[in-house]
Amino acid sequence: MADRINDIAWQAHQGSVAAIIQLLNEKLVESGVRTRAIFSDGVLQLLCEAQSVDQLEKTTIVQKIRQILESIAPRNIRRVNINSRIVREQQLLWLTEIYRDRDNQLLWSEEITLPQPNIFRQILKDFQNYKESKTELAQVSLPKPNSLRSVVFKRRNRNKARNRFQSKSIPKQSLPIGLLKVSSLCLPLLLLVWGAYAWLEGKGESSTSAETSKSLTIQPQVSSLANTQSFSQKTEDPFVAAVRIANQASALGKKALTPEQRLELATKWQEASDLMSQVPAKHSRYQEAQSRIQLYKKYAEASQSIAAKPKPTPTPGVKTLSTPDPFAAAVRIANQASASGKTAASSEQWSTLAAKWQEASDLMSQVPAEHSRYQEAQSRIQLYKKFSEAAKVQAQKGQ
């Protein structure tokens, strides 16, 4: 009989998350996929990582993992949530990061349900394991001393003689009938006790598996931390790296005030644009990368221009007026134009209205990239231009 401590398949069947991860990694190594897992809230959270998007094709990965887990049939694990992403720097708290920002962290996720095992087969298998464990204990038991062999031999002979005497006095038909009666009474009780024991054992394992699985999974993660970091830095997807740097630049733009911070912001946007230009044509998000190249360049140029502007030197004794927000000024003029458009009738009024819409569009184009409503301002530039052109058409009609 194999040693249970070293039997990975048996440990995985008992619900050990570390053993399940080891079997999954062994069977998925040819696909270039690496897995990590945490048992949380009754669900086995499984993370699949690979170098490219092609290696993480959803249908293939889900089918392979389902087949592997069904062959393992882990106890007390029915729901499995499969998460997928491009390999990146090691994260010990990767599940927390996924919960915090699922859209930017994952390529896709899929939840599967493992079939319920047959209860009678499970009871039979547990009974066989119990017999095997007793056999193993019997094999390693110590031999009896030689001084006791004669006493044991005499007692065996005495018991045999007593059994012969009793068997002569018992009728032939009463023994099997009595055994049938006893077995019919004891069998339901044994099944009830065995079911209660299995339920209590499963409940205890499910409560402790969440605590033990984290400590078991942290060990292989820590041991491969240095290798994973160097591996991910060399082979990281340029699109993913560009998005990560763009997110950092967006966060920095909200608090950048000094010229040095503006220059650092411009450098990050330019780096994100350069990475987007390295995305190959066969990439699944190539078209999106091409559109983001110019967008990130505009952000970099806007940050550089703001950093290059000299700060006005305040005149002693003169109060300086704060620069108005171009977005707020544009909205104010647009509201005025909207009100005037309801009463405009002559060509002069339409011309004045067209000038107001054009002024609002020009102010929207002056909104800096780090402004909290920069994206909304970009969309309103063309909208206000259309309103201005429509007012010009009305002015020409009235002439």
- Cα–Cα distances (Å) from 382 to 331, 357, 363, 396, in that order, read 14, 10, 12, 21
Residue 7 lies in a domain: yes
Of 281, 279, 307, the C-alpha closest to 293 is: 279
Could you tell me if 300 and 328 lie in one domain? Answer: no
Task: Give the residue among 362, 344, 360, 363 at the shortest CA–CA distance from 352.
Answer: 344
- Determine the pLDDT at residue 216: 44
pLDDT band of 142, cuts 50, 70, 90: very low
| Residue length of the chain | 399
How many alpha carbons fall within 13 Å on the CB side of residue 88?
A: 21
Please tell me whether residues 288 and 329 are part of one structural domain. no
Provide the percentage of residues in the chain whose pLDDT is more than 90. Answer: 9
Range of the domain at 298: 236-306
Choose the final residue of a domain: 115, 135, 154: 115
Tell whether 249 and 333 lie within a shared domain: no
Note whether 335 and 299 are same-domain residues.
Answer: no
Q: Looking at the structure, tell me whether residues 11 and 101 fall in a common domain.
A: yes
| pLDDT confidence band for 197 (50 / 70 / 90) | low
CB 232 within 8 A of CB 94: no
Express each pLDDT in 145-172 by its tens digit.
444 455 455 566 666 656 665 554 444 4
> For residue 318, what pLDDT band results from cuts at 50, 70 and 90?
very low
CATH of the domain at 48: 3.30.70
Confidence category of residue 280, pLDDT binned at 50, 70, 90: very high
pLDDT level of residue 207 (50, 70, 90 thresholds): very low
Chain position carrying tokens 């950048």? 256
DSSP 39: E
Give how many domains the chain has, as a whole number: 3
What is the C-alpha to C-alpha distance for residues 221 and 100, in angstroms, rounded to an integer? 21
Whether 183 has a pLDDT exceeding 70, the answer reads: no
- C-alpha closest to that of 37 among 20, 53, 51: 20
| Whole-number pLDDT of residue 82 | 92
Determine what percent of the chain falls in helix, strand and coil, rounding each to the nearest 5. 70, 5, 25
pLDDT at 80: 92
> Does position 229 have pLDDT exceeding 80, yes or no?
no
As a whole number of angstroms, the distance between CA 48 and CA 35 comes to 5
Higher pLDDT, 373 or 206: 373
pLDDT of residue 224: 43
Closest CA to 124 of 77, 191, 67: 191
Lowest-confidence pick of 206-215, 318-327, 333-342: 206-215
Higher pLDDT, 172 or 374: 374
Strands 43-50 and 79-86: parallel
pLDDT tens digits, residue range 83-132? 888 887 666 677 787 777 777 778 888 999 988 766 666 666 666 666 66
SS3 208: helix
Mean pLDDT of 286-306: 87
* Tokens 């994260």, located at residue: 91
In this predicted structure, the answer to whether residue 221 has a pLDDT above a threshold of 50 is no
Q: Is the pTM of this model over 0.75?
A: no
Domain identity same for 46 and 110: yes
Task: Give the end of a domain, one of 277, 306, 335.
Answer: 306
7 shares its domain with 73: yes
Assess whether 3 and 108 both reside in one domain. yes
Q: Are residues 43 and 108 in the same domain?
A: yes
Residue 83 and residue 22 share a domain: yes
Mark whether 290 and 359 lie in a shared domain: no
DSSP for 272-338, written as a single string:
HHHHHHT--TTSTTHHHHHHHHHHHHHHHHHHHHHHHSPPPPPPTT-PPPPPPPHHHHHHHHHHHHH
Residue 348 lies in a domain: yes
Number of C-beta neighbours around residue 236 at 10 A: 17
pLDDT at 5: 55
Tracing tokens 């993992």 back to the chain, one arrives at 65
